[in-house]
Structure 1
């Protein structure tokens, strides 16, 4: 118990110091609330508009998780094909890099033109921005299984499927987890960015839409409150991936 307190105490103290510095900066510097509200004003908005903000947070989180989960399944499938077929990897991997380097704000209008405004477009945008880390991490992990174990499997006449399922995949789990953790953070970013452009479905507004409208109205208190909630969502999704990795996937790992 005392060890947990010692571990949690430094971050709590750091947060308190940050909030005090924030409040003093506004009071001493005479900064107007239209530029930077006080911490109290932000927490007051969180309390007064909790219903709207947390409803929007739920919509954003569903879009982020859906796109993230889809990127895991598609990314792992693509990585398996890339690792098993060298000609396919050489032919198609540059296009995966291309998909990653194209600015999502540039292709968002195209997605909206095809799919319209609403959650579907937000999920697709989230999927695109989360896909590349899963593909690269999983592909690298599947290609880096130990040569001595591969030779042992070949000696015993293991099939391609057996080598993939019992050797390559367990060996690649640490890198797959790393890719999933990176993608989990990008999923929240993708959902927020998607809602900037496509999150205007009637009666269903995510955090990105609230950020967009708050910025236009100079409601910085609402903007910071929405940023705070989205940050908590990113931490929660990252923590969920880490917990899943430590419980469900860790027993599969092959020790070095």
Structure 2
């Protein structure tokens, strides 16, 4: 117990240890409730059954995970590129922002499940259609946060740049971009999860079978076949993927700006 106390004083250790303990307690509660209540597997499988299904069906679920992950990462990268370019344009021109920002909001408030069928019909390539649907979901946080960050510069520093007769390009790259990094990485944490959500929802709408199917299709098929343990296993993989994406963006943010910005202290 004495050896644990020095570790407990570290905030990062508590950030990992406390959620891990809660997760173990929830899994034990889940397992105990299912076993003591004698709940059938086809209604609510226990964590052990889900783990066994992950192992036995890994060849099927692993391939589906790779396909979903491919769509998610491609969409996420596309949303970053397009979102940053649009944010740069908004900052350089108020007129452009006034004209186009309402349409960015329109894309955000329109449910992807409503427009995904149209996109799938218009784009004959199913993979490309899924990427477009997922990118639209992840695009708005990057546009809004990056634009806000690029505008949230110190007035004194901006006045100093103007005093030094810095042009727009110099002000953008040497002042606005460094100031926007905390906002940008916050957007990445949000958009990474939204890209995964968009990919899964688009897969549900597409409902395509065959070799290149994702986790959403496996969930649909498991529901049709009443294979509830496999459905839970696919849900676990989706959840773990989202956690890994969010954690990766947090680590990237800490490595990039943690040494100079108080938001990652």
TM-score normalised by the chain length of structure 2: 0.89
**Counterpart residue number, 1:13:** 21
1:85 aligns with 2:93: yes
Is the deviation greater in 161-170 or in 189-198?
189-198
Aligned to 2:164, which of 156, 163, 166?
156
Deviation at 1:250, TM superposition (A): 5.4
1:112 aligns with 2:131: no
Conserved 8 A contact 2:27-2:47: yes
Is the deviation greater in 227-236 or in 59-68?
227-236
- Count residues in correspondence: 255
**Counterpart residue number, 2:57:** 49
Deviation at 1:51, TM superposition (A): 1.2
Residues 11 and 246 of structure 1, relative CA distance in 2, 3 Å threshold: closer
Q: Gapped runs of 5+ residues in structure 1?
A: none
Instruction: After TM superposition, list the pairs within 5 Å mapping 1:89-238 onto structure 2.
Output: 89-116=97-124, 118-198=126-206, 200=208, 202-238=210-246
Q: Gapped runs of 5+ residues in structure 2?
A: none
Structure 1 SS opposite 2:54 = helix
**Counterpart residue number, 2:66:** 58
TM-score normalised by the chain length of structure 1: 0.92
1:209-249, Cα deviation, whole Å (9 max, x unpaired): 11121122222211111111111111211222223223345
User: Alpha carbon RMSD of aligned pairs, Å?
Assistant: 2.2
Is the deviation greater in 115-124 or in 142-151?
115-124
Q: In the aligned structure 1, how far is the partner of 2:129 from the partner of 2:207? A: 8
Q: In the aligned structure 2, how far is the partner of 1:59 from the partner of 1:140? A: 34
